[in-house]
Amino acid sequence: MTTTSYKAQISRLGAIYLIVLAGLAQFSCSSEKKTQIVRQKLSINEGWKFYKYENVGEADELIYDVRPDLKNNQELRVADAKPTEAVDVSASQEVLKPWILPTANGFINNPKNHYVRPEGKPGANFPFVQGGFDDSAWESINLPHDWAIAGPFQKGWDSEVGGGMGRLPSNGVAWYRRKLNMATEDLDKAIYLQIDGAMSYSMVWLNGHLVGGWPYGYNSYQLDLTPYLKPGADNQLAIRLDNPNHSARWYPGGGLYRNVWLIKTNKVHVAQWGTFITTPKVSEEAATVRLKTTVKNDCKEGETVEIETAVYALSAQGVRSSTPNKVFEKQEISIAAGQKAEVISEVQLDNPKLWGPFPTQTPNLYVAITQLYKNGKLIDEYETRFGIRSLEFDPNRGVLVNGELIKIQGVNNHHDLGALGAAFNKRAAERQLEILKEMGCNAVRMAHNPPAPELLELTDSMGFLVMDEIFDSWERKKTAHDFHLIFPEWSEADARSFIRRDRNHPSIIMWSFGNEVGEQYTGAEGAAVGQRLYDIVKEEDTTRPTVVAMNFAKHDMELPKVPDVIGLNYQGEGIRWEPQFEGTDRIRTAPSYDAFHKQFPDKVILSTETASVFSSRGFYTFPVTPEISSPTRDGQGGNSELSHVSSYELYCVDFGSSPDRVFKALDTHPFVAGEFVWTGFDYLGEPTPYYNARSCYNGIIDLAGFKKDRFFLYQARWRPDFPMAHILPHWNWPRREGKITPVHVFTSGDEAELFLNGKSLGKKKKGEYEYRLRWDDVLYQPGTLKVVTYKNGKVWAEEEIRTTGEARKLTASADREIITANGNDLAFVTVKVCDEEGLMVPKSMNRIDFEISGPAEIVATDNGDQTCMTSFTSLQRKAFNGMALAIVRTQKGQPGKIILTAKSEGLETAQLEIVSK
């Protein structure tokens, strides 16, 4: 179709649209001609068409704004290098930013700072936004969707996307299109589009009209579609995304990677994220529940409505109790046309079921059902889940939840889900939390951005504590195209919307508004930026403390004065304090807990990042350092030829420390509230120290979800009452007979005896500030290693490992063998290469071919190898040190028996049955 014909079609559609608008004018908000129904939240994840330009040079010119040129971009940048000033740029072409900025107005408190939408319809004539455009050749997809995760991986030092962003094609410009059919009964409704996350610079057109957008890829947002809709007809929704290269220090993903919803309400309704529940007084006998409700009036005249809210208890399965526990007094509220109004009410709930973290407390939840009535008729119903708990931050003890001291045993996690990429899947996230819970982890830091809303639903129901975080950079940049480009215009809206969305989650115990920001280096000027953000956070929520994670700012600098909690990244243990860094130009920091505690005696101190240890699962090098912590170098835990790091769990990034050294620092400073380890899981991108790889080495658990040895070191510390013992390394070492092969034991016991082929190698007892037991002079002999551990003089736990035979067969096991036929549920299948006796052969790298029959598909495979460049969608995968993973997804509405088959040449085939119900 020619451009002229497109213009003619748009003209005809415009005329029809004016007729429809005239018809709409007949329906006032108070009209009784239509039967009003309550709110609907409809998933529109299915039925999308997707197109991505081959390269940025071919993309259309409907840009949000111009960006700085990439000059001297450095891939191998030290993680704690000083961020630099923004680069000024000026636009030489029309940009759409002026039409997008008004989307932020609802989160900018001062009306004088609101953005005014210009006249005009930018992009209206572009074919992709028009209903008549033929997109049948585009890819058909369902959401959530990560356009980059299928790859291919980009190899080599001159690749377009380097190791920092995961070597996957997340950069580029793409479009999503979908029809929305609106019934005529929606004529008097307010219709909103809700996007839970779009990476990034999203801009939305409906029927050729640019509705709005949001640049920051991690924030959720809503757009009012009502003025642009054609009820009783198909409506064309078109969304443009522009994800720049060098926009992150890790893998960001690309696309509409979280859920997308259509929300239908009456014109008078509870506003977006319009309830805020707090519990100012909490005890086991009674709790005060305070509810602030914001009501929006989209009518052209003022309206008066009544508000009534009932509180119900929720079961562990999320089922509402049959009768309310408490009902708020009904209130009347008047709202001017086109405005919002707030009402605050309180009730006392007797004998409340408190929300608290496992294992000592129970994450009990409630739901508040808020109903709006007009002239006695129900016009809106809004659900708010919440928990009742008290928080206390004691500078000399740490965090108290419901009066109980809870040491933070936390991890940092990025947002990708391994082989599934950034596309959110609730079951995949739940599996991660289950593995962390098994380890004894009780807290998660959302590094370094707002998570999917469903992840917070999981932390609420599973009893995790959460540090919710919004910014990795402020005005100064870490990468050329990161958030600093939009910080001046969007930081207030991003911060406020982030808090309003998440503030009712009881699992969130603090707000972080910055991570290792460049403003640490700029004294009072940088602190002023922090103070502005602090004030915004406190205007939104005074019930939780704030924190900024600092890897440079010292106790006598300006920035630490701003937040409520002192968050230290690596500084507590000291940064590069080993003698080998003396005389270098690297940043060196003495152990700092005492200095901060003395300077800020009224503030809680928390280690927001600790450790940053490297390891490749099942990979070991010799000799082993005699130290308790060591930087990583070739011959010192590292192997740059293979791009792997030894799993003795002693080797770390230069600015980091081993777990052992971190534990000692925490135990000798009991006033520190706890730690968030860097990281819980390996994540895509940032593969320090080997940037030719695809994913990081820092995780306690690898990218496939397989436990590294370090898992058991943390489990021994975080679950002291759980009998466990773990031996490393494996015991398959041909050509090492008679050579020193150190054996380490991780146990929650306090003493252990090690046996090699039945002969005792001696008993060892943990000394003060010792967290592992080491037999560093063991001479390797094939056979059996066994450890018997003791606690308080009694046998506690045992483990035995053996030298295996040759690989003979595959075995397969699933995390769950019964899953739900909803099109989203997953089974994670672990395949192991084993000998005749079923023992995993630890150094095996056999190629495995996966097949599936029944109502399901294999959506991804992985092996946890940071250097593996096989596409995640491949059905062929080499085992890495004996293990591989297949992720099986059900087909919607198609229950039945699923058979997964794993084959490898020369090995016995493995089959596994999974039932989809």
Q: Are the beta carbons of 237 and 260 closer than 8 angstroms?
A: no
837 class by beta-carbon count within 10 Å (0-12 exposed, 13-18 middle, 19+ buried): exposed
Q: Supply the DSSP symbol for 57.
A: G
Q: Which residues pair with 213 in a beta bridge?
A: 203
The first and second tokens of residue 101, run together, are 């900025």
The first and second tokens of residue 350, run together, are 């007797």
* The one catalytic residue among 475, 489, 492, 516: 516
- Quick one: the chain helix, strand, coil %, rounded to 5? 15, 35, 50
CA distances from 804 to 85, 755, 833 (A): 57, 17, 11
Q: Are the beta carbons of 888 and 788 closer than 8 angstroms?
A: no
Single out the residue of 718, 16, 91 nearest to residue 406, CA to CA: 718
Number of Cβ atoms within 10 Å of the Cβ of 343 = 15
CA distances from 849 to 153, 229, 565, 678, 799 (A): 20, 49, 51, 34, 32
How far apart (Å, rounded) are the C-alpha atoms in residues 502 and 457? Answer: 10
Q: Is the peptide bond before 448 cis (omega within 30 degrees of 0)?
A: yes
Q: Is 582 a catalytic residue?
A: no
Task: Give DSSP secondary structure letters for 208-220.
Answer: TEEEEEES-TT--
Single out the residue of 343, 228, 344, 227 nearest to residue 296, CA to CA: 343
How far apart (Å, rounded) are the C-alpha atoms in residues 717 and 663? Answer: 9
367: helix, strand or coil: strand
Task: Give DSSP secondary structure letters for 160-211.
Answer: SS-GGGTTS---EEEEEEEEEEE-GGGTTEEEEEEES--BS-EEEEETTEEE
- CA max distance for the chain: 93
Q: In this structure, what are the phi and psi dihedrals at residue 260, rounded to the nearest 5 degrees?
A: -125, 135
The first and second tokens of residue 65, run together, are 């704004």
**Burial readout 177-212 (b: 16 or more C-beta within 10 A, e: otherwise):** bbebebeeebbbbbbbbbbbbbbbbbbbbbbbbbbb
Q: How far out from the chain centre does Cα 460 lie?
A: 15
The first and second tokens of residue 600, run together, are 């800020």
How far apart (Å, rounded) are the C-alpha atoms in residues 884 and 844? Answer: 11
How far apart (Å, rounded) are the C-alpha atoms in residues 449 and 247? Answer: 14
596: helix, strand or coil: helix
What is the torsional sign of CA 829, 834, 840, 844? negative
Q: Are the beta carbons of 802 and 815 closer than 8 angstroms?
A: no
* The one catalytic residue among 489, 609, 649, 686: 609
In sequence order, the 6+-apart residues with CB closer than 8 A to the CB of 560 are 550, 553, 554, 566, 596, 599, 600
Q: Is 306 a catalytic residue?
A: no
Place of tokens 């757009």: 223
How far apart (Å, rounded) are the C-alpha atoms in residues 150 and 148? Answer: 6
The size of the chain, in residues, is: 917
How far apart (Å, rounded) are the C-alpha atoms in residues 682 and 615? Answer: 10
96: helix, strand or coil: coil
Number of Cβ atoms within 10 Å of the Cβ of 822 = 14
Residue numbers annotated as active site: 516, 609
